[in-house]
Structure 1
Amino acid sequence: MGRYWKTSMQYSQISVGELQRKAQQSVNDAKSKGKEMHPIVIEGRQIAKSWWGIAWCQNIEQYADYSSRLARGKRYVKTGAVIDLQIVKGKVKARVQGTRRTPYKVEINISPLKEDVCEEIIDQCSSQIQNLQQLLNGEFPEDLKDLFLSKHGLFPSQREISFNCSCPDWAIMCKHVAAVLYGIGAKLDENPFLFFELRGIDVNKLVDVTIKDHVDSLLKHADMPVTDRVMDDSCIETLFGLK
């Protein structure tokens, strides 16, 4: 604790330059040992740029009693202190550079959604995604905002998320955890499917259901009567000089 607090009980912050130097050294050390790192790199002033990444950041800022820690975490993630962040089913594992040489280990656990809620979300999502290519490109229309932000949506409530950090800070959410939470928002910019991974939803099933819905829609239209806008075979032959 002495490394975090002066005798006057004023918080002592590491400078941006020193934090970045330590972070780069930790990344270099990991690479020299053959460890693959997944750092969070923030370009510009915004942590997240997509509507879903921004919405994630806004959602965590609604968590009560964490405002001061979130501000420090935002500073850390913007300076490149989150040197590794990986998302797996219901869990986020990360390493965050702090004042000491060795980065701190952060783990965030998110409760999985109940199976019936998962099924409902898959159905809602597939029915609202009109552009199949948009889904396959990892983009989501703003029509899905309610799906993410609703009471039983994809975003976890404060009761559905727990944190753990190896630092000696006494707070439930230290600045290292806060940095990782913001880092998730930036990570989701790159791959929004990670939203579903976090909540235990099968992404492959989501894509399969969406494709099936689009195929079914195409088959329905295939049975529609021919209109004046559709050329018959003889017109096509004439057009291409086949007669």
Structure 2
Amino acid sequence: MTGAVLHPRVGPRRGGARASTWWGKAWVRAVEEASYAEADLRAARALARGGHVGQIATEPGRYVASVDDARGLWTVEGTLPVLDHSGLTALVETVAAVAGRVAALVAGELPHDLVEQADESGAELLPSGYELGSVCGCDHWTDPCVHALAVLYQLAWLVDADPFVLFQLRGLSRDELLARLHARAVVAADVEADVDLDQAVEAALYAARIVDEAESSASGMDIHQPQADDPVR
């Protein structure tokens, strides 16, 4: 996988396979929308909680992981549609539109208004159930199968802890987002500098024009105004 990120394996953990953040819960809702049966979800949660999912590798539009169960070891490859060029641009602009959004993302937070504004701009971050595609080596007839659902549950935990995982899956890695924001800030600074220079030149030209007009007016008064010592006729 080109440019893939390999996430640490999650060991057995107590409790449910649910997420804790609002965006993680939205991911889980999409996973459960994609499932065909509640029994598959229960089995997938058991696999996820039991530490049966190997390290998950993520890259734009794709994730891969292995899952072991009583029948063997299975490889799951999943997909999520990436944003097109205009969508990626809109996402970057949305992040840059409000101060503090970058800091929130770096701190592991995903502002709700960022997601809403991105959606309105045509850059949907959170997936729906029909977007979660998968292929597994098992003979289960459903898509996603139990193994894919287990991987998707653990992906919810990754997205929970780091929203940049979601950005990467949608086609915009953390480094690329920060690089685009930096480039955008540099361009904005250059434009502002050019505008300030243009304004300064315009102000100087205006001042010079005022001086010229004032001097011309004073010269006209010297020629046409009568002097105090001129003889009265």
Change in 2 beyond 3 A, CA 1:65/1:45: closer
Deviation at residue 145 of structure 1 after TM alignment = 4.1
* Structure 1, unpaired ranges of 5+: 1-35, 221-243
- 2:64 is paired with a residue of what secondary structure? strand
Instruction: Render the CA deviation track for 1:130-160: whole Å, top value 9, x for unaligned.
Output: 2543332232223334257778511233443
Alignment partners' CA distance in 2, 1:148 and 1:181: 23
1:171 paired residue number = 142
- Residue of 95, 120, 123 corresponding to 2:93: 123
Using the TM superposition, give the Cα deviation of residue 202 of structure 1 relative to its aligned residue in structure 2, in angstroms. 4.1
Q: Which has the larger radius of gyration?
A: 2
Deviations 1:158-182 (A, max 9, x none): 4433211111222222111111111
Given the superposition, is the C-alpha separation of residues 208 and 180 from structure 1 closer, same or farther in structure 2, using an over 3 Å criterion? Answer: same
SS in 2 for 1:155: coil
Matched, 1:60 2:31: yes
Find the counterpart in structure 1 of residue 205 from structure 2. Answer: none
From 177, 196, 205, give the equivalent of 1:206: 177
Partner residue of 2:70? 99
Indicate the larger mover: 121-130 or 37-46: 37-46
Aligned alpha-carbon RMSD (Å): 3.2
Q: Would you say the 8 A contact 2:23–2:160 is kept in 1?
A: yes
Contact 2:63–2:79 (CA under 8 A) maintained in structure 1: yes
Structure 1 residues 55 and 114, CA gap change in structure 2 (3 angstroms): same
Aligned-partner SS, 1:92: strand
Whether the aligned pair in 1 keeps the contact of 2:30 and 2:129 (CA below 8 Å) is: no
Structure 2 gaps, min length 5: 1-5, 193-233
Higher mean C-alpha deviation, range 90-99 or range 120-129: 120-129
Output aligned runs, 1:87-166, within 5 Å. 87-100=58-71, 102-128=72-98, 130=100, 132-146=102-116, 152-166=123-137
Q: Which moved more, 1:148-157 or 1:197-206?
A: 148-157
Whether the aligned pair in 2 keeps the contact of 1:66 and 1:173 (CA below 8 Å) is no
Post-superposition CA distance 1:190-238 (Å, at most 9, x none):
321011110112433432455666xx79xx9xxxxxxxxxxxxxxxxxx
Q: Distance in 2 between matches of 1:71 and 1:149?
A: 31
2:14 and 2:98 map into 1 onto residues whose CA distance is 31
User: What is the CA–CA distance in structure 1 between the aligned matches of 2:88 and 2:161, rounded to whole Å?
Assistant: 23
Q: What TM-score do the two structures reach when normalised by structure 1?
A: 0.63
Distance 1:121 1:190 in 2: 20
Q: Alpha-carbon deviation of 1:188?
A: 1.3
Q: Which residues in structure 2 correspond to 1:37-56 (within 5 Å)?
A: 38-41=8-11, 42-45=13-16, 47-56=18-27
Report the CA distance shift for 1:210/1:66 in structure 2 as closer, same or farther (over 3 A): farther
**Aligned residues between the structures:** 183
Report the secondary structure of 1:62's partner residue: helix
Quick one: which amino acid aligns to residue 105 of structure 1?
A: T
Contact 1:126–1:209 (CA<8 Å) still a contact in 2? Answer: no
Match of 2:162 among 178, 181, 191: 191
The structure whose residues are more often helix, as a share, is: 2
Instruction: Kindly state the Cα deviation for residue 37 of structure 1 after the two structures are TM-superposed.
Output: 7.9
Q: SS where residue 48 of structure 1 aligns?
A: coil
**Post-superposition offset of 1:59:** 2.3
* TM-score, with structure 2 as normaliser: 0.65
Check whether the contact 2:95–2:102 (CA below 8 A) recurs between aligned residues.
no
Over the matched positions of the two proteins, sequence identity in percent amounts to 25
2:52 equivalent to 1:81: yes
Query: What CA distance in whole angstroms lies between the structure 2 residues aligned with 1:99 and 1:171?
Result: 19
